[in-house]
Chains A and B, each alone.
Chain A
Amino acid sequence: MAFLEAHNIIKDYYNHRALDNFNISVEEGAIYGLLGPNGAGKTTFIRIVNQITQPDSGEVFFNGHKLCPNDISNIGYLPEERGLYKKMKVGEQAIFFAQLKGISKNDAKSRLMDWFEKFEITEWWDKKVDELSKGMQQKIQFIITVLHEPKLLIFDEPFSGFDPINANLLKKEILNLRDNGATILFSTHNMASVEEICDSISLVNKSHVILSGTVWDVKQQFKENEFNITFKGSPDFLYSDDNPIVLADLSSSHDINSATVKMKTPMSTNDLIRFLINHIELVGINEKLPSMNDIFLTAVNDNNITNTPSK
């Protein structure tokens, strides 16, 4: 059984269905991307995992057992809509949140000091949150989320509001946490970060999971069998109709040509290379895989089109 599993979750609000037969399975130690347009149901699912709301039907399993209130101390949640008490001092506040997760005051203090030193922010301890910039507050929130060393971390748009330097720092820390054994559920619209750090994803649209799997599998599923090749020699052979490939794009500089070709019928990369080296001197070849961004747009659009008439 996977670390976090959702079985046929249904959640109705009084005027719409937020989740409909929602299934998901997150392996232990993975960084799992939960993707989808606004209002797809991601936050509702995250709230169910956090037991802020209860599903109308269906079950969530956590670490092999049915999710129960005690699991809260093993979950860290960084919501998209997040804030801190403005008039409270940073240190006091962090201790308060840590205590709510069941850590003793002294433990919280020493762990916090470690994190504050790591982020080089020890001088903020006695400042009021009011005095910090938004990015600074986000750092504190991140620390609060991970302080109790939960087994499951849920980040909802963690990078929003961070400058590139701090976003990088955060990314490093997230990978670090994963390496230390945490499982990470990661909800975002930022597709670049998904490609960089996620192992697996689920794409949610209109309360359904419409796509899920490892990032590699998903890309394979959506690839269009296109290859970028660079070669020496005449590109004329590419225009022949007898080829197993068609030319999509061609450019040349000096005596090197670059082309994008598409297979007419799927074939192995080896076969493609065999075919190419009969005609030209191959310099480089790589498969053109769709970006997560393209996959997102394609999948959501297709799903919307197939769903619209039935509505």
Chain B
Amino acid sequence: MNNLFLVIQREYLTRVKKKSFIVISLLVPFSMIIMMILPILLTSVGSQTTYNVAVADRTDQYIHALQSNDIVHYTPFPNDIDEDSIRHIYINCGYDAYLLINGTPNKKGNVKLCSSSSLTTDACTKIRNDIRNEYRQQLTDKLRNDFPEADSLIAHLNDKTDISNITISENGIDGESSPFITEFISIISMMLIYMTVLISGTMVMNSVMEEKTNKIIEILVSSVKPFDLMMGKIIGIALMTLTQIAIWAVVGTGIMICTSIIMPTPDASVTADMSQDVTSELAMEIISALRSIDIVGVLTLFVSYYIGGYLLYASLYACIGASADSNTDGQMLSMPINILIITSLYLAMYAVHDPHGPVTVFASIFPFSSPFVMIARLPFNVSLWQIYTSITVLILSFIATTWVSARIYRVGILMHGKKVTLKELWKWVKLAN
């Protein structure tokens, strides 16, 4: 027991003290935040090009409605100049593009935006919206004229549609849920499990291989039981991963708070109202969605699946590391497990869209995919018997894989220069002490 603790401690401390660990712990949240903030910063700071657009409106119905702003500046162009001439002179007249309106915009070719170099999406969107809005305006005006009684209906055309998504729960307190937030939560938790299992699993494998190929193992196993050594490794690396996640969470929140204090929303005067509206709406949505989910229950299950899934796969990786003779060997041997994990991830992605389909239900009970798939399903209120079955199967499976892995590990770490086949591994499992 004491030695198990020492192995955990060594595995944990040597990893946490590494420069790379500290760098990654700080760099990841910083780069995430930079990735989030940079676009906002660029749009608010970067100077915008204003496009001069010549408008030749042959219908005379749109020109008066086109409002210039700092993206696009509209200038009426004399109507008596034919298209070929415009084409040749617009650049010399100081325009970046010309807009030719020959008729209503619902027919292809009636409205043309021509330029020698393409305009930015922002500019194109602005022009398209301006034309469309005016066209709609004209249509509704005509409707109002012809059928005055339709006026009140027309007013509702632009109304927002809002469907409240209520999750009925057994305790009678119905919560309002948002499909977007629910999916978001399940994808985030699924990715978290996926990343940890894959990355920490590979770490366990490499750590086992290091001891084996550097021949440290002979000295080690004379004082530590192979099982303690394997479990110490698995637990030590898990603790390191958890530390890393905790640091990310703390540093990430810290940076978020700091930036929001130091940097008020850019262009506050113009967008303040709108952005505040959007953020408060989003916050409300998140809160109500969270309220509709049983947070404690989901969190407990998340931790259970996280531990179960990690132990299941880490012991497999440890056993691969013990059977491999070199790094290339290890990479090759771990391929099937990697494929298993990636397949499970795909199944989990699928589960988000079909949380109660037969494939999903099976995959959420099958132990190698359940940690991913069930986590993805959890926010969609899974029936209890499925959760219990899946947890039981997972626990039994990781006891089984740990047992098998420990037996393979025990023989494998002292074995050199042998080609490992499945038959060979099975012999190792059967081998008594």
Contacts and interface: CB of A to CB of B under 8 A. Distances in A.
Interface stretch (B215-223, B247-255, B329-337): B215-223
Contacts of A77: 218-219, 222
A109 to B, nearest CB: 15
Interface residues of B, number: 23
B219 A101 contact: no
A88 B14 contact: yes
A289 B172 CA distance: 99
Nearest to B427: A14
Contacts of A88: 14
Interface string A44-84: 00010011111010000000000000001001011101111
Interface string B421-433: 0000001000111
Interface in B184-228: 210, 214-216, 218-224
Interface in B79-134: none
A111 B394 CA distance: 47
A75 B414 CA distance: 19
Given A14-B427, A96-B6, A52 B219 contact: no
Q: Which residue among A56, A96, A102 has the maximum number of chain B CB atoms within 10 Å of its CB?
A: A96
Contacts of B353: none
A209 interface: no
Nearest to B5: A99
A82 B215 contact: yes
Given A79-B219, A83-B214, 19 more contacts: A14-B427, A51-B222, A52-B218, A52-B221, A52-B414, A53-B433, A54-B433, A77-B218, A77-B222, A82-B218, A84-B214, A84-B216, A86-B210, A87-B14, A96-B6, A100-B220, A100-B223, A101-B223, A141-B219
A203 B6 CA distance: 38
B291 interface: no
A86 B214 contact: yes
A125 interface: no
A239 interface: no
Contacts of A53: 433
B222 A81 contact: no
A84 B10 CA distance: 13
A245 B360 CA distance: 95
A67 to B, nearest CB: 13
Contacts of A78: 219
A144 interface: yes
A100 B6 contact: yes
A97 interface: yes
B430 to A, nearest CB: 9
Given A54-B433, A85-B14, A97 B210 contact: no
A75 B214 contact: no
A72 B427 contact: no
A215 B245 CA distance: 63
Interface of A: 14, 47, 50-54, 56, 72, 75, 77-79, 81-88, 92, 96-97, 99-102, 141, 144
B203 to A, nearest CB: 13
Given A82-B215, A84-B216, A72 B223 contact: yes
Nearest to A55: B433
Contacts of B218: 52, 77, 79, 81-82
Given A14-B431, A52-B414, A83-B214, A144 B14 contact: no
A81 B221 CA distance: 13
B431 A100 contact: no
Contact of A79 (B2, B215, B431): B215
B6 A52 contact: no
Contact of B222 (A14, A72, A86): A72
10 tightest CB-CB pairs across the interface, nearest first?
A: A79-B218, A83-B214, A83-B215, A54-B433, A100-B223, A81-B215, A50-B222, A77-B222, A83-B216, A52-B221
A185 to B, nearest CB: 13
A128 B3 CA distance: 23
A18 B128 CA distance: 85
Nearest to A79: B218
Interface in B389-418: 414, 416
Nearest to A88: B14
Interface in B7-46: 10, 14, 18
A101 B375 CA distance: 43
A92 B414 CA distance: 25
Most buried by A among B219, B220, B416, B432: B219
Nearest to A101: B223
A148 to B, nearest CB: 9
Contacts of B219: 77-79, 82-83, 97, 141, 144
B367 to A, nearest CB: 30
B222 A75 contact: yes
Contact of A99 (B6, B210, B214, B431): B6
Contacts of B431: 14
B214 A85 contact: yes
A3 B222 CA distance: 19
18 contacts: A50-B221, A51-B222, A77-B219, A77-B222, A78-B219, A79-B218, A79-B219, A81-B416, A82-B218, A82-B219, A84-B214, A84-B216, A86-B210, A87-B18, A96-B6, A99-B6, A100-B6, A100-B224
Nearest to A14: B427
Contacts of B220: 100
A77 B219 CA distance: 7
Contacts of A56: 432
A85 B216 contact: yes
B415 to A, nearest CB: 10
B223 A97 contact: yes
A79 B416 CA distance: 15
A53 B416 CA distance: 16
Contacts of B433: 53-54
A102 B10 CA distance: 15
A287 to B, nearest CB: 42
A99 B232 CA distance: 15
A101 B219 CA distance: 11
Nearest to B221: A52
Interface in B350-366: none
